[in-house]
Amino acid sequence: MDAALIQKGVRRCSFGQFILFLAVVGAVLLWGVFAMLLCWIKGLNQTNMNDYYGFALWIWADLAVIAIGGGAFFTGFLRYIIGKDELKNIINYAVLIGFICYSSALLILAIDIGQPLRGWFIFWHANVHSMLTEVAFCLTCYFGVLTIEYIPLILGNRQLDRVPFFHNLSHNMHEIMAVFAATGAFLSFFHQGSLGGVAGVLFGRPFAFREGVFIWPWTFFLFTWSAAACGPCFTIMITKITEKVTRKRLVKDNVIELLAKISGWMLITYFAAKTIDTWYWAAVTAPSKGFWMMDFYSGNSLYGLWILFAEIILCAFIPGLILINKEGRKNKTALMIAVILAVIGVSLNRWVMVLQVMAAPVMSFDTWAMYFPSWQEIATTILPVAYGIILIAISHRYLPIFPQEKELNPIE
Amino acid sequence: MKEEHKHEHKAKKYGMVIDLDQCTGCGACMVACMAENNVPFRKDETDKFLSITWMRVYQLTNGKSFPNTEICYLPRPCMHCEGEHGHSPCVSVCPATATDYSHETGIVSQIYTRCFGCRYCMAACPYHARYFNWWDPVWPEGMEAYLSPNVSPRMRGVVEKCSFCFHRYQIAMEKAHYEERHELKEDEYQTACTQACPAGAITFGDLNNPDHAVCQMKKSKTAFRLLERLGTHPKVYYLSSREWVRRAGDNYLRDEDGKVMDKRKLRN
Amino acid sequence: MRIDRRSFLSFVIGGAAGTALTPLPWKITDDLAIWTQNWPWTPEPPDGEAAYVNAACTLCPGGCGITVRKIDERAVKIEGMKGHPVNDGGLCILGLSGLQLLYGPTRVRTPLKKVEGKWKKVSWDDAIAEVAAKLSELRGKGPQSLACISGSDQGTVPQLLKRLLTAYGSPNFMDMPSFQDAYAITLKLTQGVDASAAFDIENSDFVLSLGSGIIEGWGSPVRMFRANSSCGEKKGALVQVEPRLSNTAAKADQWVPVTPGTEADLVLGLAHVIIKLDLYNKDFVGNHTFGFDDWTDGEEKPCKGFKQFVLENYSPDKVAKTTGVDEKTLTTLAKKFADASSPLAVCGRGEGKTPGSLHEFIAVHALNALKGSINKKGGVWAVPESDYISLPDLKTDDVAKKGLETERIDGAGSEAYPYSKSLLNRFAEVVGTGEQSPVHTLFVSGANPCYTLADTQAVKKAFKKIPFVVSFSAYMDETAQAADLILPNHVYLERLEDVPPPAGLSQCVIGLSKPVVAPQFDTRHTGDVVIQLAKKLAGSVADAFPWENYEACLQEALGDKWDALNESGFVATEVTPAGWEKAFAGTPSKKFEFFAAGYQPVTIEGEEKTFPLILVPYDSMRLSGGFIGNPPFMTKTVSDTMLKGNDIMVEINPKTAKSRFLFLNDGDYAILSTPKGRVNVRVHLFEGIMPGIVAMPKGLGHTAYDDYLAGKGVNVNELIGPVEDPGSGLDAAWGIRAKLTNVPI
Ligand SMILES: Nc1nc2c(c(=O)[nH]1)N[C@H]1C(S)=C(S)[C@@H](COP(=O)(O)OP(=O)(O)OC[C@H]3O[C@@H](n4cnc5c(=O)[nH]c(N)nc54)[C@H](O)[C@@H]3O)O[C@H]1N2
Ligand SMILES: Nc1nc2c(c(=O)[nH]1)N[C@H]1C(S)=C(S)[C@@H](COP(=O)(O)OP(=O)(O)OC[C@H]3O[C@@H](n4cnc5c(=O)[nH]c(N)nc54)[C@H](O)[C@@H]3O)O[C@H]1N2
Ligand code: SF4
Ligand code: SF4
Ligand code: SF4
Ligand code: SF4
Ligand code: SF4
Ligand SMILES: [Mo]
């Protein structure tokens, strides 16, 4: 039915099957949209956030989604700036995933703030001292960049490409893409860092607070580093999942392996940096505020030392080790385990830097505050996932996302 | 003349000294604040994580078992932290400049109509002095009659907190200007909680002005501030003759000065 | 069409600029932002002319002066009156919430009549005519069947109600009990005076409080706060004796936890040490008292004196066993009390709303007497009740005379209870038990007995039996709900009224509360209603009320104080108690009389076997336990260790929580039962309470008022019944035996 829209030389499932798939995911999406409308119309009382959890599930989702969406900027950086040309075979997908992640982040922010209609005050009355201002500017600009990077992909659709205007537009955009990619990479380095800065500058919250250089706390650099390390892992993970779902190979192994190897080294170096950071914080920063490290890892039912183990050893060092080894990268299972661990690791790190910060008492007579999100929060957090799946499904069906697909899946 | 001129424009630094030996925990300061500042209320206010109380009186215990238990009440307004050069924890993070540090008065303001409710400032404040309007403020029919025009009621979705009754400062300054004065006398600007406290536990004034009582009181040997070690530079001082209370004001490592205190027991 | 880089860039930039240049998106964005700042449902308080009006707070007997800030005709803030002798600018949490009562949803807005269980609006004329008709009809059959429950017997409005009853022919005017009632009897017996007790706390250097909530609202709350603060400044000491670490105990220099109900033993134990160590005031005891040493009575029978009685029965080791206070603490405490230059022992638990046991009061008074702290600086003073109200004598007709000769329904002043003036605690029993209620018509003014009296269920049942109940309440409280007719009073900020001197002050402060705002609804001053009612009754009843209206009556009643009161809102006069030479002229011995063994301790209700624990009510300044239901602001400050959602939290020691087949963690649900009832509670584990005790806050569990109060927690009065003191007949219940059980899973 929609054959005319599909590229030549590739195989897609039947239209009926496709619609059924969209309907199922769409139902989840609608559930999220309903929850979103509830939050907008009735207000944030629909959530389980409170005055102790001013930041909660959503801010975690934001940070996590941006971190794992980091594949776009880092792959772009590697391809356009460093010149790793093979990566052109995965850059489209990285851009698409990045686009989904960043648009989701903006959507979640629009739900999360108490006065969405005034959200633009962040630009209009910008406070240059605030990390969030930096985040907002960079995030918005970078989302613009991602959009610009995504447009040529859309224009690559078989029917659209026939229109000369679109064809030329697309061509022109491709030509200057390196400029955008470079701008995007620069912006990304910043806002990934600013997101780390959001927590790191909280000098009233010794669990989050980090010293640093100039206005940037160490978390600024750690966040950028971890996003650069784990973003590509997420791209690999989604690519592998897409391959599983479509029952096709879409990207050649050498491309994946190159990205995995770089990620591996990034993870190992991140592991070292994070270890030093944690040690310095535990030995110097926190004690200077009167806190012993264990104050933050005891006295409650959830946050224990297991987190440090999981975050640093299990989800940074081990996947790093797997990925820097040829055998590890080549072994499909090991590779999958490694990228999944890396994604979990970075998400856990973002969780800790948002939620454990809120949970840990600072005044000596205060208590640990525990929180469980309401269904509205969960639904609105799943909403982007559904939206992402749909956008990937449509893009994959109608757009030339994977340059190597035809080669890898010849129609005999 | 020149001297006088200089004195007139000396920056003020309003602050509070709360004598915990005097405070009875009666809660009058909390209600005085609610009444003064049009603070809304709801049918169920027992979830204290959702209850807007610009002034909150904490109950601290010394963690000892019966009959050696002791209690201390600790009223907590906004500390109007100075941070480094006015970069208080909350002011420095607000992306929209909706909360600001006044170098003229030392007061941390909150601009409700500019705040867009990101709650970053709440995450930044270690004293939990900031409150979000999770609900629309609703007064039972007829009760809106008592709302004061000096403080605008806040809309849903914004953050609010103790303002040191800033509108009272404005009213006092207007009067002073009208009388062609640039200085306020100590009693011309007092906060609602200070005035209401039946135990006389709260003293308010200009910490920079040696003629104001707070300026001397803050130098007392038994004076301390909450979480001084964080570098928030609060402008609310507390007095207590009890050592465990003073220690509860901050965090200490177990091996510091040989005293072991399990701080998790401090709240009952 | 060919697009080169140049035209592409122009297209992008031009498009963006073009859109940006149209004002439309900007205008819409800005308007939306502005709209969020002025949501039509976010109120914008209108500005206007600001003014301050002085008045008085009458929400409790504290008698604080207030200054109300007004914007045009709206009252927007209540503040303490600076320079007022009671509160000098300070205010309590209830007084500060007053505007929520004025403008609150619980006000009764017009006279209401209950028709087939539903409230119907009636006009004032019809309402008053109906009451008058009912009273006229009943008068012939026995005027004593009219009764009145009043919050107080002080002030012109209670006096007018009492006068109406007297002129009509009923002796049955009852007021709400308080610890002052027990003090009055104590002073009568020991000093031979009709007086109320005043406490010169400000000048005492050692206050021993037997459970009195000095800062929970005992006596005049704000004045007590200030006394407590100044106590600290001049290095006076406060020792608090009670089983729970209350706010007062927390602020005291020493907290002495004691097994509840054994306070008298503790006091007599202190007396034992003081006498044994010869530390008492020889001058006072030797020259101005009777009954210290043994004596022989008129029939030559030897009688045991206070000294011998105490030495024999209250040795520290014995007392330590009964009270749970160890010997050393007891002895040290006794020495400290004796060493102080003006020590003062006070009693009347918590807010003092339950009178308490005569045995305990007399023991405490005797302890003061040992040190001569009677009618002396820093001591307890017998102050004659202020007679600032002068109303003309009234003439009663024959019907009235006959009615007035009948015995009061509550038995006060009868042979059985010779000293009591009012025994409201017996009301439920008297009305509830007979075939027919002896009360046909009941007036209730300034009181909410269906909530505040012990054993509320019995009180409510008694109310059901009374054919015609008239409430004067300004609020839809529990008693108003149980009434047949409501004649709503103005609330205090709308009315002119005298403020009687707060009890317990060593200074006599009379206040005048002037209206701050015009009446908001179709309400009427109870003083006016009483006068109008009397006029309708004609004859000698009408003659007793010659005034045109309440204001005229008040002006006459206040006489020469009227002008001063009008001017400054209060008149304060120093009170000087009579010196020792003259103070005790009313007793047979013309001396202070130690009554040692004459009165018996009171046992609370319940079997220890079935009910191993003891439930005590406790007061919190954040809860209005009797006087008026909590306004929303106050409820907002109630701690989550007292109320969580709609569940009441009871305090128990962690040891209690893990004993006797109990296993309770902090916040767990449990069943609390007493001989009077069974309720679901949650437990708050707290080290500041004696093991074996369960403490429940007073002031919750309302069924009336608004959604901000009704349905929250449990009314402790439903779990505790009154216990009659054998000496006075007053309610002496300070708790009840109780049991906690885990909620079956
Ligand atoms: N906020 C507020 N203020 C008020 C009022 C109000 O309702 N609300 N009411 C006003 C009125 S009408 C009055 S009369 C005054 C009076 O005020 P208070 O005299 O202070 O009254 P209570 O608080 O009833 O007494 C309970 C106290 O006694 C203790 N207690 C209980 N059982 C025992 C026992 O067996 N032994 C001992 N030793 N202690 C025991 C409890 O721990 C608690 O501290 O307050 C006035 N002020
Ligand atoms: N079990 C138990 N019983 C007690 C006490 C106790 O502690 N425990 N305390 C005792 C003591 S000390 C006291 S003072 C009493 C208090 O007992 P009550 O006098 O019954 O006290 P409230 O419940 O405050 O009743 C006052 C009622 O008057 C009404 N009211 C308020 N303002 C006005 C007005 O302007 N006009 C009129 N007509 N009505 C008005 C309100 O509806 C309010 O409910 O309770 C006594 N009874
Ligand atoms: S009003 Fe005064 S005494 Fe009461 S809680 Fe506040 S500071 Fe303490
Ligand atoms: S107490 Fe909190 S809200 Fe107040 S100035 Fe300090 S950080 Fe800001
Ligand atoms: S919630 Fe409002 S005041 Fe707080 S940081 Fe955000 S915009 Fe600023
Ligand atoms: S200073 Fe004013 S705003 Fe702050 S707590 Fe006191 S009354 Fe409230
Ligand atoms: S103590 Fe009593 S009189 Fe004084 S403000 Fe409080 S309620 Fe009113
Ligand atoms: Mo009372």
List the single best residue of C8, C9, C42 to mutate versus A (max A Cβ within 10 A): C8
Backbone angles phi, psi at B53, to 5 degrees: -135, 95
Give the angle subtended at the CA of A31 by the CAs of A26 and A36, to the nearest 5°: 120
State the pLDDT at residue C374.
94
Q: Extract the runs of DSSP E, i.e. beta strands, from B47-118.
A: 56-61, 71-76, 99-101, 108-110
Q: How far is the CA of A405 from the centre of ligand 1 (A)?
A: 83
In a 13 Å sphere around the CA of C315, the CA atoms on its Cβ side amount to: 3
Nearest-CB residue to C103 (from B146, B156, B196): B146
Q: Is C624 in the pocket of ligand 1 (CB under 6 A)?
A: yes
With contact defined as beta carbons under 8 Å apart, do B243 and B259 qualify?
no
Q: Using H for helix, E for strand and C for coil, what is the string for C192-261?
A: CCCEEEEECHHHCCEEEEEEECCCCCCCCHHHHHHHHHHHHHCCCEEEEECCECCHHHHHCCEEECCCCC
State the pLDDT at residue C2.
59
Report, as an integer, the average pLDDT of C341-369: 88
User: Touching check for A169 and chain C: CB below 8 Å?
Assistant: yes
User: Touching check for C70 and chain B: CB below 8 Å?
Assistant: no
Say how many C-beta atoms besides its own lie within 10 A of residue C566's C-beta.
13
User: Touching check for A407 and chain C: CB below 8 Å?
Assistant: no
Say how many C-beta atoms besides its own lie within 10 A of residue C23's C-beta.
9
List the single best residue of C251, C494, C517, C693 to mutate versus B (max B Cβ within 10 A): C251
**Atom from ligand 2 closest to the CA of residue C478:** 44
Rounded distance, CA C554 to CA C185, Å? 30
pTM: 0.89
* Largest interatomic CA distance in chain B: 64
With contact defined as beta carbons under 8 Å apart, do C62 and C221 qualify?
yes
Report, as an integer, the average pLDDT of C341-362: 86
- Confidence class for position C220, pLDDT limits 50, 70, 90: low
State the pLDDT at residue A407.
87
Q: How far is the CA of A114 from the centre of ligand 5 (A)?
A: 9
Q: Is B57 in the pocket of ligand 3 (CB under 6 A)?
A: yes
With contact defined as beta carbons under 8 Å apart, do A132 and A191 qualify?
no
User: Touching check for A289 and chain B: CB below 8 Å?
Assistant: yes
Backbone angles phi, psi at C665, to 5 degrees: -100, 165
With contact defined as beta carbons under 8 Å apart, do C206 and C337 qualify?
yes
Which bin fits C68, alpha (ψ -120 to 50), beta or left (φ > 0)?
A: beta
B226–A363 C-beta distance less than 8 A: yes
Structure tokens at A24: 């199922």
pLDDT digits (tens, 9 = 90+) for C250-276: 989 999 999 999 999 999 999 999 999
State the pLDDT at residue C221.
59
Q: Is C734 in the pocket of ligand 2 (CB under 6 A)?
A: no
Spans in chain B with pLDDT lower than 50: 1-7, 260-268
Query: What residues pair up with C77 in beta bridges, in sequence order?
Result: C69
A203–B157 C-beta distance less than 8 A: no
Structural element, H or E, at residue C658? none
Rounded distance, CA B152 to CA C46, Å? 10
pLDDT digits (tens, 9 = 90+) for C457-483: 999 999 999 999 999 999 999 999 999
- Quote the minimal CA–CA distance from B94 to chain A in Å: 6
Q: Please determine, for residue A275, whether its predicted confidence score (pLDDT) is greater than 70.
A: yes
Q: How far is the CA of C127 from the centre of ligand 1 (A)?
A: 37
Q: Is C532 in the pocket of ligand 2 (CB under 6 A)?
A: no
Query: What residues pair up with C206 in beta bridges, in sequence order?
Result: C237, C343
Residues in chain A with CB shorter than 8 Å from the CB of B93 are 129-132, 198, 201-202
Q: Is C628 in the pocket of ligand 7 (CB under 6 A)?
A: no
State the pLDDT at residue A180.
83
The domain covering A49-371 belongs, at the CATH homologous superfamily level, to Formate dehydrogenase/DMSO reductase domain (1.20.1630.10)
Cα–Cα distance list, B45 to A56, B130, C641 (Å): 22, 16, 13
Rounded distance, CA C658 to CA C682, Å? 15
Q: Please determine, for residue A295, whether its predicted confidence score (pLDDT) is greater than 90.
A: yes
- Quote the minimal CA–CA distance from C5 to chain A in Å: 6
pLDDT digits (tens, 9 = 90+) for C696-724: 999 999 999 999 999 999 999 999 999 99
C71–B198 C-beta distance less than 8 A: no
- Confidence class for position C229, pLDDT limits 50, 70, 90: low
C97–B143 C-beta distance less than 8 A: no
A52–B157 C-beta distance less than 8 A: no
- Confidence class for position C222, pLDDT limits 50, 70, 90: low
In a 13 Å sphere around the CA of B119, the CA atoms on its Cβ side amount to: 28
Nearest Cα to B197, choosing from C89, A106, C40?
C89
Question: Looking at chain A from residue 334 to 363, which residues have their Cβ under 8 Å from any Cβ of chain B?
Answer: 357-358, 362-363
Nearest-CB residue to A165 (from C1, C5, C32): C1
- Quote the minimal CA–CA distance from B103 to chain C in Å: 27
Residues in chain A with CB shorter than 8 Å from the CB of C3 are 165, 168-169, 172
Q: Which of C116-130, C172-186, C337-351 has the highest mean pLDDT?
A: C116-130
List the single best residue of A39, A51, A210 to mutate versus B (max B Cβ within 10 A): A51
Hey, whose CA ends up nearest to atom 4 of ligand 5? B121
Which domains can be identified in chain C, with CATH numbers?
Answer: 1-38 (no CATH), 39-106+498-518+549-586 (3.30.200.210), 123-178+398-489+524-546 (3.40.50.740), 196-383 (3.40.228.10), 613-742 (2.40.40.20)
With contact defined as beta carbons under 8 Å apart, do C372 and C283 qualify?
yes
With contact defined as beta carbons under 8 Å apart, do C313 and C268 qualify?
yes
State the pLDDT at residue B88.
95
User: Touching check for A11 and chain C: CB below 8 Å?
Assistant: no
Structure tokens at C178: 């308080």
Residues in chain A with CB shorter than 8 Å from the CB of C1 are 164-165, 168
Nearest-CB residue to C3 (from A115, A118, A172): A172
Q: Please determine, for residue C301, whether its predicted confidence score (pLDDT) is greater than 50.
A: yes
Q: Please determine, for residue C596, whether its predicted confidence score (pLDDT) is greater than 60.
A: no
Answer yes or no: is the ipTM higher than 0.90: no
Q: Write the DSSP symbol of residue B230.
A: G
Q: Write the DSSP symbol of residue C692.
A: T
Q: Is C199 in the pocket of ligand 1 (CB under 6 A)?
A: no
Q: How far is the CA of C229 from the centre of ligand 3 (A)?
A: 11
Residues in chain B with CB shorter than 8 Å from the CB of C707 are 43
User: Touching check for A164 and chain C: CB below 8 Å?
Assistant: yes
Rounded distance, CA A263 to CA A341, Å? 12
Say which ligand is closest to the CA of C249.
1
Subunits next to A (3 or more Cβ pairs <8 Å) are B, C
Burial B146-175 (b: 16+ CB within 10 A, else e): bbbbbbbbbbbbbbbbbbbbbbbbeebbee
Q: Using H for helix, E for strand and C for coil, what is the string for C86-147?
A: CCCCCCCHHHHCHHHHHCCCCECCCCEEEECCEEEECCHHHHHHHHHHHHHHHHCCCHHHEE
State the pLDDT at residue B261.
47
Strand B202-206 relative to strand B14-19, pairing: antiparallel
Q: How far is the CA of C410 from the centre of ligand 6 (A)?
A: 50
Rounded distance, CA C247 to CA C408, Å? 40
Rounded distance, CA C636 to CA B48, Å? 9
With contact defined as beta carbons under 8 Å apart, do B59 and A172 qualify?
no
Residue ranges of domains in chain A:
14-48+372-393, 49-371
Report, as an integer, the average pLDDT of C643-655: 96
pLDDT digits (tens, 9 = 90+) for A192-238: 999 999 999 999 999 999 999 888 899 999 999 999 999 999 999 99
Higher pLDDT, B235 or C61: B235
> How many residues are present in chain C?
745
**Atom from ligand 6 closest to the CA of residue B202:** 6
Nearest-CB residue to B263 (from A55, A136, A364): A364
Mean pLDDT rounded to a whole number for chain C: 90
Backbone angles phi, psi at C466, to 5 degrees: -80, 125
Type of residue numbered C585:
A
Q: Please determine, for residue C231, whether its predicted confidence score (pLDDT) is greater than 50.
A: no
User: Touching check for C254 and chain B: CB below 8 Å?
Assistant: no
Q: Using H for helix, E for strand and C for coil, what is the string for chain A?
A: CCHHHCCCCCCCCCHHHHHHHHHHHHHHHHHHHHHHHHHHHHCHHHCCCCCCCCCCHHHHHHHHHHHHCHHHHHHHHHHHHHCCHHHHHHHHHHHHHHHHHHHHHHHHHHHHCCCHHHCCHHHHCCCCCCHHHHHHHHHHHHHHHHHHHHHHHHHCCHHHHHCHHHHHHHHHHHHHHHHHHHHHHHHHHHHHHHHHHHHHCCCCCCCCCCCEECCEEHHHHHHHHHHHHHHHHHHHHHHHHHHHHHCCCCCCHHHHHHHHHHHHHHHHHHHHHHHHHHHHHHHHHHHHCCCCHHHHCCCCCCCCCHHHHHHHHHHHHHHHHHHHCHHHHHCHHHHHHHHHHHHHHHHHHHHHHHHHHHHCCCCCCCCCCCCCCCHHHHHHHHHHHHHHHHHHHHHHHHCCCCCCHHHHCCCC
Rounded distance, CA B185 to CA B168, Å? 13
Structure tokens at C721: 């019944």
Report, as an integer, the average pLDDT of A271-282: 96
Nearest-CB residue to A122 (from B116, B155, B248): B116
Residue whose structure tokens are 């001049």: C234
Task: Output helix, strand, coil percentages for chain B, rounded to the nearest 5.
Answer: 25, 15, 55
Residue whose structure tokens are 């009440």: B73
DSSP-derived 3-state class of residue C576: coil
Which domains can be identified in chain B, with CATH numbers?
Answer: 2-267 (3.30.70.20)
Residues 6+ apart with CB under 8 A from C446: C150, C151, C152, C157, C158, C472, C473, C489, C526
Nearest-CB residue to B136 (from A43, A54, A121): A43
Choose which residue among B78, B102, B166 to substitute to test ligand 4 binding: the one with the highest number of ligand atoms within 8 A of its C-beta: B78
Residue whose structure tokens are 């050649």: A252
Hey, whose CA ends up nearest to atom 4 of ligand 7? C64
Report, as an integer, the average pLDDT of A29-49: 96
DSSP-derived 3-state class of residue C407: coil
pLDDT digits (tens, 9 = 90+) for A302-346: 999 999 999 999 999 999 999 999 999 999 999 999 999 999 999
Structure tokens at C699: 């002031």
Rounded distance, CA C702 to CA C476, Å? 11
In a 13 Å sphere around the CA of C683, the CA atoms on its Cβ side amount to: 29
Q: Write the DSSP symbol of residue B68.
A: S
A118–C1 C-beta distance less than 8 A: no
Burial A177-202 (b: 16+ CB within 10 A, else e): beebbebbbbbbbbbbbbbbbbbbbb
Residue-by-residue DSSP string for C606-642: S-TTT--EEEEEE--TTS-SSSSPPPHHHHHHS-TTT
Which bin fits C434, alpha (ψ -120 to 50), beta or left (φ > 0)?
A: beta
DSSP-derived 3-state class of residue C349: strand
Structure tokens at B107: 């007061």
Structural element, H or E, at residue C561? helix C561-568
